Amino acid sequence: MDVKFFDSLYEGDSAGGVKLCMGVTGGDFWPRSSGCILLYRGSSEEAVDYNDVLSVAEINSISIEAPNYLQHQNGETYFYTVRSVSGFGEEEKTNKALVKIVLDAQGDLEPGSPNGICGSYAEQINPDEVGIIWYYSPIRQVTEPGCFNIYGNNGSGPVDYQNSIGSVNYIGRKYYSWQIGNLVPGTYRFSIRAEDANGVEDKSYEELLIGIDVGSSGAVKVLGIVAI
């Protein structure tokens, strides 16, 4: 059992322990033998507080609700993360299952588009070929995606968001991948946007920067992810 789930001073009845029913067992053993999923929040991907359990749901749940006491400020952006916990109280350490929530000036969710993708990264397939991997979670989405559109800059300049260079069909909450080859040395920018059945894309401008040097043994280098 992960140490953070048990507060020995209060026999499990800490803020997180109450939500996890640790007080029922006095902290002597993990009470959720079938496992569970936990909800966390932060102001950015890097600032998600994994010590503050907001909500708990059964392991087979397809949704999890944020508690009513949470404040959401107009015009702000929030990142929610879901992590699963095993029947032994061991929590997965992923930070990929992120959902980005953007509130407009009136405090409403920006309407009309799927969630943005999260957790994108790249891997080298061949000296001149790169695979891009990303994660999509449907929790609290406004509309369901039909596909993901991939945009690029062909090795120079800004990303061309008018003409996609690839597409991958949406089939649920999972990791997705896409490959591109015949790359020459240079710095490439890629962006992935989810698109619903009506052709409406999410509004993400996060771009994955990838350096290619086909003459070296470590050909691909992920330079970073930037938000434009």
What CA dihedral angle connects 19, 24, 29 and 33, to 10 degrees?
Answer: -60
- Lowest-confidence range among 45-49, 51-55, 170-174, 222-226? 222-226
204 versus 104: the higher-pLDDT residue is 204
Sheet strand arrangement including 36-42: 55-58, 36-42, 77-85, 98-102
Contact 98, 45 (CB under 8 A): yes
Count of other CB atoms within 10 angstroms of residue 228: 10
Rounded (5°) CA angle 38-41-46: 115
Domains of the chain: 3-102 (no CATH), 118-227 (2.60.40.10)
Contact 176, 134 (CB under 8 A): yes
Whole-prediction pTM: 0.51
Contact 89, 35 (CB under 8 A): no
Summarised one tens digit per residue, pLDDT across range 64-84 is 888 888 888 887 888 888 888
Count of other CB atoms within 10 angstroms of residue 38: 23
Per-residue pLDDT averaged across 118-135, rounded? 85
pLDDT, position 219:
47
